[in-house]
Chains A and B, each alone.
Chain A
């Protein structure tokens, strides 16, 4: 193990380590602590100039009541849920299909296709902006959640296919041959053998894509303009202007928007980290 385990060190070093560990954690968390403190702060504190000291009373619930009463935050939240939910499902289905085809069938040009997926995953969004916006307008999907879903799905297929292909390539071929010998069709193999084996990978992928799509701001800015279709990120950025210096509301709103990915991350941390590091670590 590197560095050497702290348990083997003298007591003073162990204590020093713990102290510096918690100090570093506190420093690292300052921005988050600040917004949590502010989310529970009553408006009166801010008006009185009490920005950073202890709140005069716990006002989290009244702040949230205010947030939902004065803004379409509920609508933004639902939009985010629909956009992210539908995209995640569509991406999982489509990229499993593509990954199986690329991993287990000898296709001419499959390396090229594979390279296309990886490369496309990293292009600067800006080069896609004008044509994608036009296309979405022409399809009549501008300013709807469906335009965003369509684009996010297409974009995330690249990353997801790359990710799943590595998993599928590692599955032993004997498994499929045996199934085939028993007369299973190609689609039965896909459904009954591959998908169940992929379940952990799909879980990790789902969390990652959820985070990417939930946190998107650029495409929402480009493809949506009315409150009825805005996701939380875009809505929150707009409310920042509307609520002026009501930082207690902005913080409460920001916490609300951050909660789903953070909660999901804590629930599925193992999958998330495994997903993010897949492919990066070995080789």
Chain B
């Protein structure tokens, strides 16, 4: 941001001419509007955000210490929901799947960057081509899930036809406990790659042309130019793309719900889905809240990292 940073107008307020004498109430307002205005502006947004986002986080953590079916009386059970969770084999399946999601999702920035480099050309039709590559980004995960479910259908899906054509027995991806998670991740990656592509294309368009020209002058080209001159300039984009990708990977719910409902027998369940399953199907709000709290704790690490990065950049001045 190139705007010159000044002291801010507040420093000059006292120099403003004194307000004309009017009705008492109005005068109080006029004398104090400099500090009342921001408060008035913030009341509603902060109130809503506090009521519906911040308070529920605290409440959920609180509920996780209770045995509660969602409506009746709740009994304080201390840490026993957590004790049960840590001895629940489903928890470890979910956690393992979360790790698989996280690791494979990090392919999205890599592919996104590769695709961005591939598409960063000034052909006349490029605008349209790029928009087509962006489309998965605006599609609902539910729709992507429906389409891929059908792709994977073991009797008449495109994949089954491909397998038959190759002379192989079709693989029922979504009912095989070993492949199911990978099948869902492949569908989710489609839109996540598109997201990273948008970021990297924007990053590439902002490269310092002089640095690149100088690099070329020094004989750098291709890979070495990418490594030593281009990538360092994309550091910030890569960071944001990676962190958001990680957060997305941990948050994924829609596709699992639509494609497998966590099955077969819980093998594609992740923490986010297990929490929903425990609360909605098994009426165990306390246990569900404990799962959510664990997920929240894991994600807090990345959220904090992102916050730190953003605030530090703020402090540096934009």
Given contacts A118-B307, A158-B53, A240-B146, 17 further A-B contacts (CB under 8 A): A17-B121, A28-B133, A49-B156, A97-B45, A100-B38, A101-B39, A101-B42, A126-B291, A129-B275, A130-B59, A130-B60, A154-B51, A216-B140, A254-B143, A254-B146, A283-B236, A283-B318
Please provide the chain B residues from 224 to 257 with a CB less than 8 Å away from any CB of chain A in the complex: 225-226, 229-230, 236-237, 240-241, 247, 250-251, 253-254, 257
Is residue A79 contacting chain B, with contact meaning CB distance below 8 A?
A: no
Is residue A198 contacting chain B, with contact meaning CB distance below 8 A?
A: no
A218 to B209, CA, bound (A): 44
A1 to B233, CA, bound (A): 13
A11 CB to closest chain B CB (Å) equals 14
Structural contact, A280 and B202, CB atoms closer than 8 A: yes
Is residue B131 contacting chain A, with contact meaning CB distance below 8 A?
A: yes
A105 to B291, CA, bound (A): 40
Please provide the chain A residues from 144 to 176 with a CB less than 8 Å away from any CB of chain B in the complex: 150-151, 153-155, 157-158, 161, 166, 169-174, 176
Please provide the chain A residues from 37 to 87 with a CB less than 8 Å away from any CB of chain B in the complex: 49, 51-52
A10 CB to closest chain B CB (Å) equals 15
B289 CB to closest chain A CB (Å) equals 6
Interface locus among B10-18, B77-85, B100-108, B167-175: B10-18
Residues of B with C-beta under 8 A to A273: 134, 198, 201-202
Structural contact, A262 and B120, CB atoms closer than 8 A: no
Structural contact, B199 and A276, CB atoms closer than 8 A: yes
A168 CB to closest chain B CB (Å) equals 11
A132 to B45, CA, bound (A): 17
Chain B interface size, as a band, is: 35 or more
Supply 27 A–B pairs (Cβ within 8 Å), ascending by A.
A5-B122, A7-B122, A29-B135, A30-B158, A31-B144, A49-B156, A116-B49, A118-B307, A126-B272, A126-B276, A126-B288, A127-B296, A130-B292, A135-B52, A154-B51, A157-B48, A170-B3, A172-B4, A173-B7, A185-B30, A218-B254, A234-B142, A240-B258, A262-B138, A265-B131, A282-B236, A283-B236
Chain A interface size, as a band, is: 35 or more
Residues of B with C-beta under 8 A to A34: 147, 150-151, 158
A257-277 toward B: CB 8 Å interface, digit per residue (1/0)? 110011011100100010011
Closest B residue to A187 using CB positions: B37
Residues of A with C-beta under 8 A to B139: 215, 258, 261-262
Please provide the chain A residues from 190 to 229 with a CB less than 8 Å away from any CB of chain B in the complex: 190, 211, 214-218, 221
Residues of A with C-beta under 8 A to B310: 118, 279
Give the interface centre of B53, B121, B143 by most chain A CB atoms within 10 Å.
Answer: B143
Contacts A122-B247, A124-B292, A124-B299: A281 and B142 contacting too (C-beta < 8 A)? no
A51 to B195, CA, bound (A): 30
A118 CB to closest chain B CB (Å) equals 6
Is residue A115 contacting chain B, with contact meaning CB distance below 8 A?
A: yes
Q: Which of the residues B17, B247, B250, B258 comes within 8 Å of A217, measured between beta carbons?
A: B258
B41 CB to closest chain A CB (Å) equals 4
Structural contact, A105 and B35, CB atoms closer than 8 A: yes
